[in-house]
Amino acid sequence: MEALDSEVETLYEDITYMVHHWIGERENEDENNISRNQLLIYVQQVFNKSADEHLAVVNKVKNRTPPSYTLFVEVIEARNLAAKDANGFSDPYCILGIIQGSANRELTPSAWDAADKKKRHSDAKPLAENKCSFSKSVCMTKIKAKTLNPVWNESFNLDVTDIKDGVFHLDIWDYDEDLTVVDAVKTLNEVHTIKGVHRYLKQVVKSVKSHSAKEEDDSAADDFLGCVDISLKELSMTGRKEWFHLQKQPSFSNVSGDCHLSLHISAKEESSTGASASSDSNVPPKQRYPIKIQLVLMTGLLRHELKVMREAQDWSGELSTGATRILALNSVQRGLTSSQQAVARWIVYSTELCSRGVHYEMLQPCLEEMQRTWKRLDAQSPEAQLLCASFTAYIDDVLSKLRQIPALPAESEDATAKLQAMLCVLAHLYKTEAFQQLCAYHGDLEALVTTAIQEGTESWYRSLAQPDKDAQESASQHAAAAVAVRDGRERLARLSAIVEAVNTELGLKKRPYQELFLRSVNVDYFNIVYCLLERLVADTAQRVAEDMSQLLKGAEDGQSDCEVGEMLFVVYVHLKELHGLHQHVTDRATETLALFGFHKWFQPAINKWFVVIQQKIHDRIRRAVIIDPLEAMDSLVPHSTSAVDTATCLSQLEKFWHNLAWPEPLEAFVLATKLTQDICDASVAYATLIHQKLERCSAASAGGESKVSSQLCAVVGDLDFVREKLLLFPEQLGWEEFGVAIGDHGKQVQTALYGQLHGAQDDLACQASDILTCVPTRMLLDLKQRVASLVNAPDSIQPPEALSPLIEYLEASLFTFNQRLSKERCIRIMQTVWTALLDIFTDAVRSRQSHCVSFDVRFHYSLLALRETFHADGEGLLPAVLESDAFQVLEKKLRLKTLSTVELIEEFYLERIKEQELCHQSGLGELRVRCWHAESRLHVEVLNATGLPAMDSNGLSDPFVTLDLCPYHHFPLAKSARTQTQNNTLNPIFDETFEFSVSEEQCRSRSACVLMTVVDFDLFTANDYIGQMVLRLNDVACVETRAAPPALPQRSLPLIDKSLHADIDILEILEERSVERDVQELLKKWK
């Protein structure tokens, strides 16, 4: 509220006058420690006066007429009064007045006692309704029927003649029919002079007391409910508002409760142009209305407070003690009601704070206070017009700021808090009684806020899209393809920036503003903003997207076209993100949105997008392989940098798929197939490139086998890493959900996609296998050299020492693989090396012509030691892998070669016994025998044979059986025996018994046996061999007599072909020792 200089000067003088005549018990210093002098200095500062100017005004007010005083009393309510009537209630009313000077000393503390028992009449009612009498010294409130907690809210002005000794007095009575006290008050108020009032008051009190003494048992008299006495010197101009406890009197004992009163003293200058001379026509217009003076004063005080604080943001909203005291004094002296003070505070605060854009939350208490104290106003009054104008100004300010929301930083907590406070105040304002009375013509709050948001949002968008509109007009004027591409890039860049800005605006402000607007003004902020921006963006984007898609469809592959394709895809992603926000929109069908089906605008450009991203992926993979040093990144990461780069490139394809998110299921299947093929092609291309680089590096390597092994491990780790990445794609690309979306053909779709992926995985696995297969080849020469050293080692060197170089080489070579490769890969390499090593050992043993025991022992030890090395205490190859057929053959051969001739012959017959026991059917027939040992003689009974093969042309045979005790070194004295020939039969019956002089100890040898050979007799040619049977002697029964015991069981054993079942290895070894007689005898029977 702006004021003229003359008005300000007059106000300054009036305020100084009020402070100078500040009265009350605390006039020198109040509870907030501010004295009269401090308050005068504060007034000087507020009005920005120099010391001389201030002194002149102080002297001037001292010479003005001293003021007269008036006590303003507001009887608000009472509580917990005593019940005087039979119904448990009372009908309370108050009598109040000021006892001046000596009258206070002559009267008892209770000025009036209820004693008159006469019936009261209705002519007291107008007096009871009298709220305020400026010319009377005693007043009465309304009567509140049947209550113990009456609420009056009545105001009275009482003239004060003796400010030092005067006492404010209030009685509360229970109304009865007899008007003893009421009549007394009525009569008292007919006396017009203060002196007469005092004198008459004393007479009324005495009369009432006397009447009460005579008829103290009459129940019709008014009942006393309590009183309050307050010395005027305890009051000040700032007033006193509190609950006062009701006092008892000797004549009335039943008193209880409290009374809520508001009292303050006003000083009025009788003859000046100051505050009380409002009837003077020369007084400036603004001073004719006290509320306008209050507005001017509060505005100055508030500006001074903000100036002192320097930074309005740091202001707490509370006025200083000096400002509060000045406002209180002015309000009292101008006679402003609580409602008027609240109105003034709202007008000033809303005007000043809104102009600075700060502390909107401080307006909420202003509204609450105005609502609490509101008194209905005449709409044409200046006060109503000022208030209405402030309401309108605040609404306009809020709507103006709502139009600026797109420019506000959403991440700013201060901005959000300010907006919330602003909207809460606006919503509260619309609910206040004052606004509804004075500003009913304003539109609906929700509609106003919605319109403001729409206007601000559209204005913000137009400022973004204006350059693009100009570009479209410019592009339409150019026809050349190159110009179209260049302009297309510019249009796409601007469109991308526009859509991205819109997405940012919606994304950042959706969460904080949505709830804020709903809670404050019941407006769905996101719905309003999204629907508007979505429509505006669709209008802008459709033409650009369709033009650029057609341009790409017909363009040749080139760098410019690739750039346009990338930019167009970015626009597509931004639009998809914008369209995806529709899930937060309520009460709006998706089909009605402007961006519904927007993906069709880009359909012509899809193939170009795939070509662009495929080219970029392959280029990045090629560059990654070129700069890859083929070294593991660290000890915990077994792959090299190119594998990470390739995985990142594949992730880009995954990201591209998620960004594409094509909504048409059948079309999406075709795209998914193409994308999967691109992923597989990129993976296989990487495998080929990295393998080729490994081969080049291996051929040119100057770092030795260790570096080559390290590079090989890194490449295998690369392939494994990429293959593992491929395993994640079905889940990452959402193939499961994709199959569900397809419907009945979902399984077929998934099968097709998985088939593509598995093909790529197999290719990578084959590449890794090929690389691992090269390991033994790389090591082969070194292995042969070290095995040759083992072969040629002197006999003087012990086997462990001779084998040491080969063990050290293997450990050094396999260490890198063990450290860098997975256990599965390492096991596989060890297996291939073990196989190669067995082949080398086998060749070395086979190439050894001469028999040398030391060589055989050394090689047999080495083979077993290598088996333990490759087993590695269970961490290496499994025994089943180590003890392969090749190993078993080689180990057996070496073991046999280390045996002596006797041991070897015994081993041979043990093998034959084992073969006999394992054979159950041979096709050569069976031989039935019985065998027992008695009296140092071995008895063999040849019973018969069955199922012999036909050896003669007549389909029969002429079989006989030869018997030999083996091995020969166990039975040196035993001679061969033979049965009779049985002619022309396949089932001969021999029934012959043979005796051999053999001790029981000889029979108990593990290798002792009887060799029975069945032969076909020929007269003119050599006899034909039919089969053999080996009978172990170790388990032959021992009996007491030579005759065969009747219970001795017969044994029927199949005949075996010696050429098929004889141990070739042992025979070969024995042939090397054919000079020995025992060997010759054995070879004679078995060769």
Q: Which two tokens mark 392?
A: 């309108």
pLDDT above 90 coverage of the chain, percent? 22
pLDDT digits (tens, 9 = 90+) for 97-130: 988 765 454 444 344 443 333 333 333 333 333 3
Instruction: Identify the sign of the CA torsion 468, 469, 472, 477.
Output: negative
pLDDT at position 941, please? 93
Q: Give residue 425's pLDDT band: very low, low, confident or very high (50, 70, 90).
A: very high
User: For 69-269, which CATH class?
Assistant: mainly beta
Which residue pairs, CB below 8 angstroms and at least 24 apart, start in 1040-1045?
Answer: 1040/934, 1041/934, 1041/935, 1042/934, 1042/935, 1042/937, 1042/939, 1042/995, 1044/930, 1044/932, 1044/939, 1044/941, 1044/993, 1045/932
pLDDT at position 219, please? 46
pLDDT digits (tens, 9 = 90+) for 277-287: 333 334 443 44
How far is the C-alpha of 874 from the C-alpha of 882, rounded, in Å? 12
> Which residues fall within 8 angstroms of residue 481, CB to CB, at 6 or more apart?
555
Q: Give residue 745's pLDDT band: very low, low, confident or very high (50, 70, 90).
A: low
Residues 334/290, Cβ–Cβ less than 8 Å: yes
- The DSSP bridge partners found for residue 229 are 169
Residue by residue, DSSP assigns 102-142 as THHHHS-SSS------SPP-GGGHHHHT----TT-SEEE--
How far is the C-alpha of 675 from the C-alpha of 609, rounded, in Å? 11
pLDDT at position 536, please? 92
Report, as an integer, the average pLDDT of 742-764: 77
pLDDT digits (tens, 9 = 90+) for 30-47: 455 678 888 888 888 888
Report, as an integer, the average pLDDT of 641-645: 90
CA–chain centroid gap for 699, Å, is 51
pLDDT digits (tens, 9 = 90+) for 354-365: 888 777 888 889
pLDDT at position 284, please? 43
How far is the C-alpha of 249 from the C-alpha of 111, rounded, in Å? 10
| CB neighbours of residue 323 within 10 Å | 20
Q: What are phi and psi of 94, to 5 degrees?
A: -115, 145
pLDDT at position 469, please? 53
Determine the 3-state secondary structure of 209 from DSSP: helix
The H or E element containing residue 50 is none
How far is the C-alpha of 263 from the C-alpha of 74, rounded, in Å? 6
Sequence length of the chain is 1087
Q: What angle do CA 157, 159, 162 make, to 5 degrees?
A: 140
Average pLDDT along the chain = 80
Has residue 459 got a pLDDT over 80?
Answer: yes
Strands (E), 860-900: none
pLDDT at position 58, please? 86
pLDDT digits (tens, 9 = 90+) for 51-91: 888 888 888 888 888 888 888 899 999 999 999 888 889 99
Has residue 274 got a pLDDT over 50?
Answer: no
The pTM assigned to this predicted structure is: 0.60
pLDDT at position 816, please? 77
How far is the C-alpha of 981 from the C-alpha of 1015, rounded, in Å? 9
Q: Which of 254-268, 470-484, 592-606 has the lowest mean pLDDT?
A: 470-484
pLDDT at position 261, please? 95
pLDDT digits (tens, 9 = 90+) for 151-162: 999 999 888 887
Q: Is the CATH code 1.10.357.50 the one for domain 608-771?
A: yes
Q: What are phi and psi of 677, to 5 degrees?
A: -65, -40
Residues 495/544, Cβ–Cβ less than 8 Å: yes
How far is the C-alpha of 646 from the C-alpha of 658, rounded, in Å? 19
Residues 259-293: b if buried by 16+ CB within 10 A, e if exposed: bbbbbbbbbebeebbbbbeeeeeebeebbebbbbb
Residue by residue, DSSP assigns 890-933 as HHHHHHHHTS-HHHHHHHHHHHHHHHHHH-S--SS-EEEEEEEE
Q: Give the amino acid at 52.
A: D
Q: With both helix axes pointing from N to C terminus, report the angle between 665-699 and 735-742 in degrees, rounded to the nearest 10.
A: 150
Q: Which of 238-252, 732-746, 964-978 has the lowest mean pLDDT?
A: 732-746
Three-class SS of 430-492: HHCHHHHHHCCCCCCHHHHHHHHHHHHHHHHHHHHHHHHHHHHHHHCCCCCHHHHHHHHHHHH
Tell me whether the CATH fold assigned to 608-771 matches the one assigned to 792-898.
no
Most confident of 79-88, 956-965, 1061-1070: 956-965
Has residue 692 got a pLDDT over 60?
Answer: yes
Q: Give residue 987's pLDDT band: very low, low, confident or very high (50, 70, 90).
A: very high
Per-residue CA distances from 1066 to 690, 849, 1073 (Å)? 51, 15, 11
Residues 840/810, Cβ–Cβ less than 8 Å: no
pLDDT at position 202, please? 44
How far is the C-alpha of 317 from the C-alpha of 312, rounded, in Å? 9
Per-residue CA distances from 318 to 362, 365, 369, 419, 426 (Å)? 9, 11, 15, 21, 21
Nearest to 19 by CA among 416, 456, 330: 330
Fold for the domain defined by 902-1086: Immunoglobulin-like (2.60.40)
Domain ranges of the chain: 69-269, 448-596, 608-771, 792-898, 902-1086
How would you list the strands of the sheet with 258-269, edge to edge?
A: 151-160, 67-79, 258-269, 240-245
pLDDT at position 198, please? 46
How far is the C-alpha of 343 from the C-alpha of 353, rounded, in Å? 15
Q: Which two tokens mark 152?
A: 């009056």
Q: Which of 346-350, 455-459, 823-827 has the lowest mean pLDDT?
A: 823-827
Q: What angle do CA 41, 42, 46 make, to 5 degrees?
A: 120
| ω into 284 cis (within 30 of 0) | no
Q: Give residue 875's pLDDT band: very low, low, confident or very high (50, 70, 90).
A: confident
How far is the C-alpha of 839 from the C-alpha of 784, rounded, in Å? 10
pLDDT at position 810, please? 87
Q: Which two tokens mark 617?
A: 């992926």
CATH number of 792-898: 1.20.58, 1.10.3470, 1.20.120, 1.10.10?
A: 1.20.58
Residues 84/156, Cβ–Cβ less than 8 Å: no
Q: Give the amino acid at 626.
A: I
The H or E element containing residue 229 is strand 223-231
Residues 964/1085, Cβ–Cβ less than 8 Å: yes
